[in-house]
């Protein structure tokens, strides 16, 4: 063998060996199970992740279309809420599986956190205790949502293995309820009030949030009004312990003013957003198109519009209310204007100018007629758009940093009023603490609306008050289901404005025919796929 | 469970025992052959003459195994690996002749006449059995193959004007299944061999010039000498853990020793015309149908008779697909210089290819949309004594410019607006309308920005061969690929008229990623012939390592004119990341070997193995051993078949069995990991980070495919007709699949587990017939193949997985093909009120005459989940290719037809459903065959308003209303050329000059005729999560052009 050959051979051998790489390779951007929880930073991040999985803006808004408040035309992009409203659905509808999985995925994150967080030895004990209480609140919140939609659901108070998941049975609803209220009480006992948190923690779960959620949970039961009233009183009467709450001075600003939305004394729990960095953009498909929205995919119904009372407090159905069918939007509850955009609405642009929103077909002087109702177009299917939650500071594509309120002090007040009324304890003093200030804040000035009307139609007054106050906040469908009025309000056509054939439904546009079968539809079907995989799961009646 | 990462100090600890085993085996085999060599004694004849010689094929390549016999005697020998032979004959035999015979070649007789050196050059017998076929770590004659290998050569590829090699390979080899799911320039294709054997990645392993894992898309089609498709275990096992899906071996052209320098040019230029069979109904008809759909649902019409008259009078606008497409050029130019001296050979090639996009516009600046590729390649061989060094260097630059949105958005928006509207007004303003309210697709293409990728690839390969003895050769290979890819994106703001804006986020991003792949190999080959026995041993080891790193920076609200940061510009934290977050490393160490034995060119036996250790698996699951055994028998050499020699020129049977691996999974899956991410949530209007986790599966390991193959190669009628048949049966077990048996209650997603099992079997036939009549030569080549997969196990306890893909579903069910369409079977229409009253309906749905009926499978009187059935199979079956070649004097014609015999396609969206979801406001001509009382046997149900109960019944239920027959045959290529007679061209110093005209995709026959039948929603594992096919894809380009080839020397 010649020398150069040997050299070349040796060089090759070297290259072959040098090319070898070890086979134990680890990713550079991740932690392992062993070193993750020891870092306080990571524990904080795990908790933040649980917060971020608490709820979604999509559910927050589009659940309105499950109720008689709104209609969505393109349901497929928003979880098929239109199909649920139409009543023609099966247990295979993706929305059921999707929501079910969402809540259980949230529960898993909570259980993993609770099982592992004690590995951390660097965070102070009181901080760890607080964090665990925050997590327990969110775990209860997910269970509450599950119970609300499905009734009996598997209760998971610890992290489960895949094999356990395959044979887990449904827990009786009463047990789930007990778990939720116990957990919320335990959390409330540990959590600070909003005033005890440092300002950097603004938005965290407080003791008041835990109590308010417990009140909501019990309110939905219908037969626990004594407890509801007692819990509400705790929040209303102990500002030192549970934080100083009150109503924000302006209803519209609570949702749309970037400062008021985030710094007010009314919000008990909100989904937290930040301009440009963590945003929601559903309003891109809600607002008038001349305000920059792309299309309309969630339209308020005539039924919602009709439920706003007159400025004198009387419902429009009252012949003495002064309602004029040809001038239907004047002298109405000021929250109508703060919430819904109707024909010839004066829209305030972000730059301070205004524009008139022409919705009636053929009325817009602008050739483009972007907002006009057309059964064929991209505008509102009902002839109404939304104003509530419009963000004047949103960036491109309506990416908004406004917080979405999950629990407001106004709800505590209205829960209190409803509970007291159910208990037969409604009187002027309760009214003056609850509905009166809410109406005053809304902008009512007529004493006929503000003063205690006696007990003539109190149940309906409270129900209408809740609907008007919380429109577009996702509570209406819950109310319909717990009041058991779905067979009335979710059967037949949902309507839009009076732009249709006068011989059909008095000219109110039909937008969707809905069906609700009270023998089964008060509970959602357990997702078909889950039934197949979990041998112990059973289906709800009628599916 | 100990899952700590151990950083080993001794990476080769594992290798020693294995290497030792191999070396011992090697010595043992070597010894055996030496022993065998020692035993036969020289002839006992008193005086002998030794005759030596060298036998080659017509290209000068040595031929091994050629039988050399002395006429009228039993004396004989065979050539060795270098084509040399030695035979000793009695001196009385010098008047006789030597016969050289080798299956697949024409036998040759040479008189001895006292010569002691007799060389021979053999000609192939008109079929391909004499061809050299590239196989793993070497080459073989086709006749000696034991495995199922098809080879496609340059002549099949180079006459097709394509920018991508895979486009040229489609239909060329049976069961090499290539599906072009989108025709966008630079777009991807689905590629697999013999169909689907796993639920995971079915992509075959690509080996380019001996280096594993090259990018076939970046090759210049003109640089390719041959493509071998290794289909069975016998041929592929040497590639071990990645061979289960088959292997594609590509060899690029090289220079030849002792060859005059030649310079050649070839190029094509032509125009691509976008073929859009989809047609909207006219504006007034659309309005009329819209009214009909509303009235049918009890809703008032939206167009008055006057409106419709007005629409009819004013005619159609131009808002159509056709008007955002234009004819665009496609061209390729290649120059090759090659030559060789006795000790060195070289080939240098340079190529340029461009396929401009059929979409109009340039995004607002720079060149038009399209794909460009620049190739440069150098292949150099030097022989220094016993050492041979081959160096390959290649550089590729590919650039693709596209618009700033997704193709499907562009086509959907072009499709969903009725013809009442136009893209632009007389002032050139881009218009919006009630349907496309936000932006105008033409403005997006012409002004809305761009997405531009620019990739550089450098490939280098040093291959050194050292002949240690006559029979022992040592080869070292060191090669690698460096990819540097950038993507530069900018969305520009366009204001439309009268309202609507596109791109107001004004985002700009840069993405860069680099990959580095290194492969080192060292292997020894020992080759020994002892009379008619031939032994070959190959043993070697290799390492492959791969590193990928990347980063991205995205800014939004940039300067509208420049795209630079300005007041209000923000860095988008969710779409920006650093290298640390985008680094992947993998590595594989391997030992491999092959032992082959043949006797008298009649019996062949081969065993292969590879043992791989992969970083993708935990330590204890890391090593996999993949063996195969194969044999073949050339029956036509047997004396009992000699009487039939006039019928069978060659008849060969072969069979193989082996276990192959598949490790196409993401790295790091065996480790549970936690990662932090930004902007998870916020407190006090300030965002905070979050931590997520990914569950790991420490038991993760290879997929294993046990593959049986049986084949037959035959040649008849004086070698004019050749035929090849193959049957295979492959069962892949331990398929990596996420668990489907765990309900969502568990609360988290799963990594892959080795749980599924798939059987895949099928057959292949290829035949070719050569017809020479006078000056006319014709060749007919045909191939057809089928494969049928069946899911044997899905995941632990669960036998079924259903995935809702918009309106219909995909299903994976044990006992059935891997993925199928699932839903309700239609049963005609409700024809009258009695039908409506009595026939089963879905719960809660009210129907009317003209609505769809579904089959009540379980006869329970209601249509529900229990009535859903399997409706179709989306995977192509009976794929075929047909090539016809004709040569008459200087003229030549090549015609190529390719197609799919059976495939079901489900299509949804505005092209199928009238006024789709109100998202589309259009109807197409293919939708007008709908039910009316006077047209009761229509194809589609009556028109009904979106959201009505009838519409829900007809279009939301997920039935076979969406099913189409996607079988097709396509005249893919026609090439007619004329070559100037050499006597003429040589006068101007040209060795060869050919001009040609070319047409591509000229004609497609299919029942699915409003979109291209090849488009599919699936990638090549029929992934369940693929979104349903809305046929919003880039159209088929029809190419017309001309070509020129010139060779000087």
pLDDT tens, position by position, A491-538 = 999 999 999 888 889 999 988 889 999 999 999 999 988 998 899 999
Which tokens go with B618?
């935990």
Q: Say what the pLDDT of residue B30 is.
A: 45
Query: What DSSP string runs through A237-290?
Result: H-HHHH------S-HHHHHH-TTTTTS-SSEEEEE--BTTTB-B-GGGGTS-GG
Q: Say what the pLDDT of residue A100 is.
A: 97
**B465: contact with A, CB 8 A cutoff:** no
Q: Say what the pLDDT of residue B720 is.
A: 86
Which tokens go with B756?
């599924």
Q: Say what the pLDDT of residue B84 is.
A: 86
Q: Say what the pLDDT of residue B870 is.
A: 96
Categorize the per-residue pLDDT at A7 as very low, low, confident or very high, splitting at 50, 70 and 90.
low
Contact criterion met (CB below 8 Å) for B194 and B175: yes
Q: Say what the pLDDT of residue B853 is.
A: 96
pLDDT tens by residue, B343-352: 999 999 999 9
pLDDT tens by residue, B136-191: 888 887 878 888 898 888 888 877 778 788 888 888 889 888 888 888 888 778 88
Size of interface A-B (CB pairs under 8 A): 336
Q: Which residues of A touch B803 (CB under 8 A)?
A: none
C-alpha to C-alpha distances, B373 to B214, B355, B358, B453, B563, nearest whole angstrom: 16, 9, 17, 11, 27
pLDDT tens by residue, B358-407: 999 999 999 999 999 999 999 999 999 899 999 999 999 999 999 999 99
Contact criterion met (CB below 8 Å) for A100 and A530: yes
**B306: contact with A, CB 8 A cutoff:** no
Residue A19 is nearest to which of B300, B518, B687, comparing CB atoms? Answer: B518
Q: State the burial class of residue B204 (Cβ atoms within 10 Å of its Cβ: 0-12, 13-18, 19+).
A: buried
8 Å CB contact of B919 and A74:
yes
pLDDT at residue B966 is higher than 60: yes
pLDDT tens by residue, B971-998: 999 999 999 998 888 888 898 999 999 9
Categorize the per-residue pLDDT at B639 as very low, low, confident or very high, splitting at 50, 70 and 90.
confident
C-alpha to C-alpha distances, B317 to A155, A369, B118, B312, B412, nearest whole angstrom: 60, 20, 81, 11, 17
Q: Which residues of A touch B739 (CB under 8 A)?
A: 162
**Is this prediction's ipTM beyond 0.90?**
yes
Residues 6 or more apart whose Cβ sits within 8 Å of residue A43 = A37, A117, A120, A123, A131
What pTM was estimated for this model as a whole? 0.82
| CA-based nearest distance B164→chain A, Å | 31
Q: Which residues of B touch A18 (CB under 8 A)?
A: 520
pLDDT tens by residue, B856-875: 999 999 998 889 999 999 99
Peptide bond into B498 cis (omega under 30): yes
Q: pLDDT averaged over chain A?
A: 92
| CA-based nearest distance A322→chain B, Å | 32
pLDDT at residue A128 is higher than 50: yes
High-pLDDT (> 90) share of chain A, %: 80
pLDDT tens by residue, A277-336: 899 999 999 999 889 888 899 999 999 999 999 999 999 999 999 999 999 999 999 999
- DSSP H helices in B948-1013: 949-955, 982-985
8 Å CB contact of B5 and A26:
yes
* Residue of chain B whose Cα is closest to the Cα of A153: B745
pLDDT at residue A219 is higher than 70: yes
8 Å CB contact of A86 and B743:
no
Name residues 544-573 of chain B within 8 A of A (Cβ): 545, 556-557, 570, 573
Q: Say what the pLDDT of residue B130 is.
A: 66
Suggest the residue from B685, B686, B844, B946 to mutate for an interface test with chain A (most A CBs closer than 10 A).
B685
| CA-based nearest distance B341→chain A, Å | 21
Residue B683 is nearest to which of A22, A107, A272, comparing CB atoms? Answer: A272
Q: Say what the pLDDT of residue B86 is.
A: 86
Q: Which residues of A touch B387 (CB under 8 A)?
A: 4-5, 8
Please list, residue by residue across B134-155, b when 16 or more beta carbons sit within 10 angstroms of its beta carbon and e when fewer do: bbbbbebbbbbbbbbbbbbbbe
pLDDT at residue B1013 is higher than 70: yes
Categorize the per-residue pLDDT at B33 as very low, low, confident or very high, splitting at 50, 70 and 90.
very low
Q: Which residues of A touch B864 (CB under 8 A)?
A: 90
Name residues 869-898 of chain B within 8 A of A (Cβ): none
8 Å CB contact of A28 and B685:
no
pLDDT at residue A2 is higher than 50: no
pLDDT at residue B272 is higher than 80: yes
Q: Which residues of B touch A5 (CB under 8 A)?
A: 384-387, 466
Q: Say what the pLDDT of residue B134 is.
A: 87
Q: Dihedrals φ, ψ of B394, to 5°?
A: -140, 150
pLDDT tens by residue, B643-686: 777 777 889 999 999 999 988 777 788 888 898 888 999 999 99
pLDDT at residue A12 is higher than 90: no
Q: Which residues of A touch B671 (CB under 8 A)?
A: 26-27, 32
Which tokens go with B455?
């990739």
Categorize the per-residue pLDDT at B424 as very low, low, confident or very high, splitting at 50, 70 and 90.
very high
Categorize the per-residue pLDDT at B25 as very low, low, confident or very high, splitting at 50, 70 and 90.
very low
| CA-based nearest distance A291→chain B, Å | 10
pLDDT at residue B1032 is higher than 90: no
Contact criterion met (CB below 8 Å) for A438 and A454: no
| CA-based nearest distance B108→chain A, Å | 38
pLDDT at residue A408 is higher than 70: yes
Report the C-alpha gap between B595 and B608 in whole angstroms: 6
Q: Say what the pLDDT of residue B40 is.
A: 41
pLDDT tens by residue, B683-729: 999 999 999 888 888 888 889 999 999 999 998 887 789 899 999 99
Report the C-alpha gap between B821 and B1022 in whole angstroms: 11
Contact criterion met (CB below 8 Å) for B70 and B87: yes
8 Å CB contact of B474 and A9:
yes
8 Å CB contact of B675 and A109:
no
8 Å CB contact of B865 and A528:
yes
| pLDDT, mean of residues B925-934 | 95
Which tokens go with B811?
């299903």
Which tokens go with B998?
């070319």
Q: Say what the pLDDT of residue A185 is.
A: 97
Residues paired with B587 in a beta bridge: B545
Contact criterion met (CB below 8 Å) for B787 and B195: yes
Report the C-alpha gap between A267 and A402 in whole angstroms: 13
pLDDT at residue A110 is higher than 50: yes
Which of A83-97, A195-209, A397-411, B893-907 comes out lowest in average pLDDT? Answer: A83-97
* Residue of chain B whose Cα is closest to the Cα of A273: B682
């Amino acid at each position: 063998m010649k020398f150069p050959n040997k050299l070349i051979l040796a060089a090759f051998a070297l290259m072959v060996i040098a090319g070898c790489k070890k086979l134990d390779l680890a990713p550079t951007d991740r932690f392992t199970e062993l070193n993750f929880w020891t870092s306080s930073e990571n524990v904080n991040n795990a908790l933040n992740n649980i917060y971020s999985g608490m709820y979604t803006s999509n559910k927050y808004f589009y659940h309105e279309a499950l109720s008689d408040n709104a209609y969505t035309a393109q349901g497929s992009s928003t979880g098929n809420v239109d199909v649920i409203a139409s009543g023609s659905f099966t247990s295979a509808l993706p929305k059921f599986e999707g929501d079910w999985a969402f809540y259980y995925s949230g529960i898993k994150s909570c259980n993993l956190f609770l099982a592992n967080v004690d590995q951390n030895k660097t965070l102070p004990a009181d901080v760890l205790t607080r964090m665990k209480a925050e997590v327990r609140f969110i775990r209860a919140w997910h269970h509450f949502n599950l119970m609300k939609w499905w009734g009996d659901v598997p209760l998971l108070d610890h992290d489960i293995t895949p094999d356990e998941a395959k044979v887990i049975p449904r827990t009786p609803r009463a047990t789930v309820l007990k778990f939720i209220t116990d957990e919320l009480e335990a959390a409330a006992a540990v959590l600070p009030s909003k005033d005890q948190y440092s300002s950097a923690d603004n938005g965290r779960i407080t003791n008041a949030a835990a109590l308010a959620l417990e009140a909501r949970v019990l309110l939905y039961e219908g037969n626990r009004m004594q407890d509801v009233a007692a819990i509400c009183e705790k929040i209303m009467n102990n500002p030192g312990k549970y934080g100083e709450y009150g109503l924000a001075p302006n209803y519209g600003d609570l949702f749309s003013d970037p400062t008021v939305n985030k710094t007010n004394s009314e919000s008990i729990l909100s989904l937290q957003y930040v301009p440009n960095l963590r945003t929601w953009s559903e309003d891109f498909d809600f607002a008038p198109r001349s305000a920059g929205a792309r299309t309309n995919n969630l339209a308020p119904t005539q039924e919602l519009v009709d439920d706003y009372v007159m400025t004198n407090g009387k419902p429009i159905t009252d012949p003495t209310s002064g309602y004029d069918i040809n001038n239907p939007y004047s002298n109405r509850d000021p929250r109508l204007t703060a919430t819904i955009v109707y024909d010839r609405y004066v829209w305030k642009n972000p730059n301070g100018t205004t524009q008139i929103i022409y919705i009636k077909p053929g009325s817009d002087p602008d050739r483009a007629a972007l907002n006009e109702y057309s059964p064929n177009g991209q505008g509102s299917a009902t002839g109404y758009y939304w104003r509530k939650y419009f963000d004047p500071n949103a960036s491109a594509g309506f990416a908004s940093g406004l917080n979405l309120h999950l629990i407001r002090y106004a709800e505590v007040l209205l829960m209190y009023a409803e509970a007291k009324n159910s208990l037969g304890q409604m009187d002027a003093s309760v009214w003056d603490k609850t509905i009166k200030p809410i109406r005053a804040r809304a902008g009512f000035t007529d004493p006929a609306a503000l003063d205690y009307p006696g007990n003539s139609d109190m149940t309906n007054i409270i129900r209408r008050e809740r609907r008007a106050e919380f429109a577009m906040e996702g509570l209406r469908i819950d109310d319909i289901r717990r009041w058991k009025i779905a067979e009335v309000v979710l059967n037949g056509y949902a309507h839009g404005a009076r732009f249709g054939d006068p011989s059909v439904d008095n000219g109110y546009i039909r937008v969707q025919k809905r069906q609700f079968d009270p023998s089964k539809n008060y509970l959602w079907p357990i997702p078909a796929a889950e039934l197949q995989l979990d041998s112990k799961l059973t289906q709800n009646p009628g599916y | 469970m100990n899952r700590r990462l151990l950083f080993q100090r001794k990476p080769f600890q594992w290798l020693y025992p294995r290497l030792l085993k191999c070396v011992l085996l090697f010595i043992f085999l070597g010894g055996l052959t030496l022993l065998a060599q020692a035993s036969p004694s020289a002839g006992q004849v008193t005086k002998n003459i030794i005759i030596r010689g060298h036998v080659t094929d017509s290209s000068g390549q040595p031929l091994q195994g050629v039988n050399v016999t002395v006429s009228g005697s039993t004396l004989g020998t065979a050539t060795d690996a270098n084509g040399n032979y030695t035979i000793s004959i009695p001196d009385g035999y010098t008047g006789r002749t030597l016969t050289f015979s080798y299956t697949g070649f024409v036998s040759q007789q040479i008189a001895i006449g006292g010569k002691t050196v007799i060389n021979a050059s053999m000609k192939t017998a008109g079929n391909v059995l004499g061809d050299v076929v590239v196989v793993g770590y070497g080459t073989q004659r086709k006749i000696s193959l034991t495995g199922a290998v098809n080879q496609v050569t340059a002549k099949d590829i180079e006459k097709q004007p394509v920018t991508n090699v895979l486009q040229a390979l489609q239909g060329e080899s049976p069961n090499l299944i290539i599906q072009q799911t989108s025709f966008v320039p630079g777009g991807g294709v689905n590629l697999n061999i013999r169909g689907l054997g796993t639920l995971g990645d079915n992509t075959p392993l690509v080996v380019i010039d001996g280096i594993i894992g090259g990018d076939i898309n970046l090759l210049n089609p003109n640089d390719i000498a041959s493509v071998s498709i290794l289909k069975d275990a016998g041929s592929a096992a040497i590639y071990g853990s990645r061979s289960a899906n088959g292997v594609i071996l590509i060899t690029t052209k090289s220079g030849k020793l002792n060859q005059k320098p030649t310079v050649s040019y070839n190029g094509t230029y032509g125009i691509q015309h976008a073929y859009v069979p989809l047609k909207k109904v006219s504006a007034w008809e659309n309005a009329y149908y819209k009214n009909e759909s509303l009235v049918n649902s009890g809703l008032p019409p939206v167009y008055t008779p006057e409106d419709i008259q007005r629409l009819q009078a004013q005619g159609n606008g131009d808002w159509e697909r056709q008007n955002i497409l234009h004819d665009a050029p496609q061209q390729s130019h290649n120059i090759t210089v090659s030559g060789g001296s006795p000790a060195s050979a070289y080939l240098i090639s340079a190529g340029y290819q461009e396929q401009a996009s059929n979409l109009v516009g340039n995004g607002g600046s720079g060149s038009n949309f399209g794909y460009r590729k620049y190739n440069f390649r150098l292949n150099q061989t030097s022989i220094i004594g016993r050492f041979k060094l081959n160096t390959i260097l290649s550089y590729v630059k590919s650039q693709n410019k596209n618009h700033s949105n997704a193709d499907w958005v562009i086509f959907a928006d072009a499709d969903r607006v009725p013809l009442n509207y136009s893209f632009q007004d007389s002032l050139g303003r881009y218009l919006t309308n009630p349907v496309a309210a936000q932006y105008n697709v033409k403005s997006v293409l012409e002004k809305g920005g761009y997405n531009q990728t620019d990739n550089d690839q450098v490939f280098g390969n040093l291959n050194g061969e050292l002949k240690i003895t006559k029979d022992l050769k040592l080869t070292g290979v060191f090669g690698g690929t460096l990819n540097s890819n950038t993507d530069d994106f900018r969305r520009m703001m366009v204001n439309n008229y009268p309202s609507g804006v596109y791109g107001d986020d004004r985002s700009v991003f840069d993405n860069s990623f680099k990959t580095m792949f290194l492969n080192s190999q060292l292997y020894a080959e020992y080759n020994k012939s002892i009379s008619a026995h031939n032994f070959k041993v190959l043993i070697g080891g290799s390492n492959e390592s791969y590193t990928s790193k990347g980063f991205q920076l995205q800014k939004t609200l940039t300067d509208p004119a420049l795209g630079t940061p300005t007041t209000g510009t923000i860095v988008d934290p969710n779409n920006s990341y650093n290298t640390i977050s985008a680094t992947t490393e993998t590595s594989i160490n391997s030992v491999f070997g092959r032992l082959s034995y043949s006797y008298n060119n009649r019996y062949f036996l081969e065993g292969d193995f590879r043992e791989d250790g992969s970083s993708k698996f935990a330590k204890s699951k890391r090593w996999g051993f993949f063996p195969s055994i194969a044999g073949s028998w050339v029956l036509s050499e047997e004396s009992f078949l000699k009487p039939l020699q006039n019928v069978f020129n060659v008849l060969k049977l072969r069979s193989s069995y082996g276990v192959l691996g598949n490790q196409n999974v993401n790295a790091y899956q065996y480790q549970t990991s936690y990662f932090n991410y930004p902007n998870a949530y916020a407190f006090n209007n300030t965002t905070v980070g979050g931590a997520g986790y990914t569950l790991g599966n420490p038991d993760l390991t290879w997929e294993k495919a046990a593959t049986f193959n049986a084949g037959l190669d035959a040649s008849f009628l004086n070698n004019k007709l050749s035929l090849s048949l193959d049957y295979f049966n492959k069962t892949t077990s331990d398929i990596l699949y996420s668990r489907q048996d765990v309900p969502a209650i568990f609360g988290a997603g799963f990594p892959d587990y080795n749980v599924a099992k798939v059987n895949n079997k099928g057959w292949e036939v290829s035949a070719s017939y050569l017809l020479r009549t006078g000056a006319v030569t014709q060749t007919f080549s045909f191939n057809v193949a089928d494969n049928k997969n069946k899911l044997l196990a899905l995941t632990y306890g669960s036998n079924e997985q259903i995935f809702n893909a918009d309106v219909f579903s995909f299903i994976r069910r044990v006992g059935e093909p891997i993925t199928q369409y699932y839903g309700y079977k239609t049963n005609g229409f409700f024809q009258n009120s009695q039908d409506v009253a009595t026939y089963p309906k879905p719960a809660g749905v009210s129907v009317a005459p003209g609505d769809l009926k579904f089959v009540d499978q379980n006869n329970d009187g209601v249509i529900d989940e229990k009535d859903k059935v399997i409706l179709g199979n989306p995977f192509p079956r009976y794929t075929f290719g047909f090539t016809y070649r004709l040569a008459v004097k200087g003229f030549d014609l090549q015609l190529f037809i390719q197609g799919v015999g059976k495939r079901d396609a489900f299509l949804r969206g505005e092209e199928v459903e009238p006024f789709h979801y109100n998202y589309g406001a259009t109807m197409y001509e293919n939708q007008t065959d709908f039910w009316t009382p006077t047209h009761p046997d229509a194809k589609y149900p009556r028109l009904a308003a979106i959201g009505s109960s009838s519409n829900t019944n007809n279009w939301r239920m997920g039935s076979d209303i969406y099913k189409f027959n996607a079988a097709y045959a396509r005249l893919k290529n026609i090439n007619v050329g004329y070559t100037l007679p050499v006597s003429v061209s040589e006068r101007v110093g040209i060795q060869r000059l050919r001009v040609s005209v070319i047409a591509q995709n000229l004609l497609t026959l299919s029942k699915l005729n409003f979109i291209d039948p090849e488009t599919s929603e699936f990638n090549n594992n029929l992934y369940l999560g693929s979104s349903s096919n809305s046929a919003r894809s880039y159209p088929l380009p029809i190419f017309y052009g001309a070509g020129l080839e010139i060779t000087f020397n």
